[in-house]
Amino acid sequence: MPPPPAPPAPRTPAPRPDGPRTEGSGPGYASAADPAIETRGLTKAYRGGRLAVDGLDLIVPRGSVFGFLGPNGCGKTTTIRMLMGLIGATAGSARVLGAPMPSAGRRVLPRVGALIEGPALYGFLSGRDNLRRFDAADPAADPATRGERVGRALERVGLAAAAGKKARAYSLGMKQRLGLAAALLRPRDLLVLDEPTNGLDPQGMREIRALVRELAADGTTVFLSSHLLDEIEQICTHAAVMTRGRLLTQGTVADLTATVLDAGGTGRLTVTTPDPAEAVRVLRAHGLTALRTAGDRVTGELPPPPPSAPPAAGDGGAPPELADLNAALVRAGVRVRGFGTERASLEDIFVQLTGEGFDVAG
């Protein structure tokens, strides 16, 4: 456990995904004025003064698939538990679906489906009977249509064939699916998922991603926390990056990528060649860093262009070094079968913001 942090220095709140929020009209105001989730200065301090969440200013637009990014232990689950009224905040405020939490919990939570820190299941009951118990606990659920709701939820998460099996015999991935089914028993305005693909195999992960897209297309706002950058990048429209209890940035995935480029990053060069070792030698000599080889594919970080250098003519704003790099490879006898740049990834964003890899202690 890290030592208690020093008193936080004054700081500027992280930018909001639709620009700064102002009262009145203007670009982005309509979407920012009625967010699905909004926090202001949300803070959670534990005994000894350790800050698990430190002054969080977060806004989740309605209708978005919002990725809440950060390494394990950075405060993501603590934030979700405060949003759902499971634990109290030390300071700050949170609003969910336009209402203050936790005071409006009785009114808000029936409109929210949540899977937090894995599902709590009755091991001696079947998957189907677990869902029947969850459904019976909902005072708004019609008992006459319970079987239909349970069957539909099991079908959506791919557990219909295992519905009669005892939950204690479920694998971790099957338990995750059952917890997600419980969150989907009724239509929800907001779905909050904490590491929803934990324990799933690649096929299961693909199926959950497809389900999230389907829910978003139906108008459900999905708030998805994960430490798996690739997972977030494939399905999210918006994202926030958090580390050590603090929010670093938030916005659309496209805008977050742009912040990396604006800060001097240029993305990664990708070269496909049957001569990867020689390609690495040439690229390293021309200033590329973080070179990696995977089969016939070589990637590396491009050096930033000089501040005053104009874009190369006809290349849409690409750094002027690209043509020279390609020529250098050919002169060295490297057989170039593919050559181009990749946009900055969420991993690039995280490294640019924190100066460290993603798999770190929070």
Angle at CA of residue 256, ends 255 and 258, nearest 5°: 65
Dmax (CA) for the chain in angstroms is 76
Residues 295, 273: Cα–Cα separation, whole Å:
9
What is the mean predicted confidence (pLDDT) over 269-280?
93
**Residue 313 pLDDT class (50, 70, 90 cuts):** very low
pLDDT recorded at residue 203:
83
The pTM (predicted TM-score) of the whole model is 0.69
**136 shares a domain with 45:** yes
Is the preceding peptide bond at 102 cis, omega within 30 degrees of 0? Answer: yes
Asked if residue 233 has pLDDT above 80, the reply is no
- For residue 303, give its domain range: 266-343
Residue matched to tokens 């979700």: 80
Q: Which helix (H) or strand (E) holds 233?
A: helix 229-235
Most confident of 234-248, 295-309, 340-354: 234-248
Asked if residue 317 has pLDDT above 50, the reply is no
- For residue 355, what are its two tokens? 């100066």
The closest of 45, 120, 59, 125 to 88, measured between CA atoms, is: 45
pLDDT averaged over every residue in the chain: 80
Q: Is 169 inside a domain boundary?
A: yes
Q: Is 7 inside a domain boundary?
A: no
Residues 59, 17: Cα–Cα separation, whole Å:
7
pLDDT recorded at residue 318:
44
Q: Is 323 inside a domain boundary?
A: yes
**280 shares a domain with 231:** no
Q: Is 292 inside a domain boundary?
A: yes
**213 shares a domain with 327:** no
Residue 74: φ, ψ to 5°: -90, -5
pLDDT recorded at residue 258:
65
Into how many domains does the chain fold?
2
**277 shares a domain with 212:** no
The closest of 322, 302, 318 to 310, measured between CA atoms, is: 318
What is the mean predicted confidence (pLDDT) over 62-75?
88
**296 shares a domain with 203:** no
**182 shares a domain with 158:** yes
Helix 146-156 to helix 172-183 angle, to the nearest 10 degrees? 130
Residue 273: φ, ψ to 5°: -160, 150
Residues 195, 57: Cα–Cα separation, whole Å:
21
- For residue 234, what are its two tokens? 């494939």
SS (H, E, C) 128-191: HHHHHHHHHCCCCCCHHHHHHHHHHHHHHCCCHHHCCCEHHHCCHHHHHHHHHHHHCCCCCCEE
353 close to 240: Cβ distance less than 8 angstroms: no
**294 shares a domain with 210:** no
**301 shares a domain with 202:** no
Q: Is 23 inside a domain boundary?
A: no
pLDDT recorded at residue 344:
58
Asked if residue 343 has pLDDT above 70, the reply is no
pLDDT recorded at residue 28:
29
Residues 206, 193: Cα–Cα separation, whole Å:
16
Which whole-number Å values give the CA distances from 184 to 131, 149, 173, in the listed order?
Answer: 10, 9, 17
Q: Is 47 inside a domain boundary?
A: yes
Q: Is 349 inside a domain boundary?
A: no
3-class secondary-structure state, position 317 = coil
| CATH number of the structural domain spanning residue 328 | 3.30.70.100
What is the mean predicted confidence (pLDDT) over 304-318?
47
**Residue 10 pLDDT class (50, 70, 90 cuts):** very low
**276 shares a domain with 229:** no
Residues 264, 332: Cα–Cα separation, whole Å:
29
Q: Of 252, 278, 295, which one is at a domain's C-terminal end?
A: 252
Q: Is 40 inside a domain boundary?
A: yes
